[in-house]
Structure 1
């Protein structure tokens, strides 16, 4: 399904970048981590809402 692919693709890219390519996140504060978590959580919730909405 398209909504699931829209959310899985950036998460896999993040994981591959961190694990294989040696990239890192430049988040140093607790507030930064909270913003990062809220952003990912918002993306998950919005994608779930879009996936459940019937096509008219």
Structure 2
């Protein structure tokens, strides 16, 4: 992984954590937790592996 991609990944994680903390202070814990869980599940689905399909010629 190039250094730039690694640095951007670290910055994205820090930004996401700060955004989550801000949202929890602004809207409350019980409002933000389902949103964070939904985003996590969507990200897991979007980044999942797709099995190779060689059934079509």
Q: For this structure pair, what is the TM-score category when the shorter chain's length is used for normalisation?
A: 0.3 to 0.5
* Higher RCO (CA 8 Å, separation ≥ 6 residues): 1
- The alignment's TM-score, normalised by the length of structure 1, stands at 0.42
- The alignment's TM-score, normalised by the length of structure 2, stands at 0.41
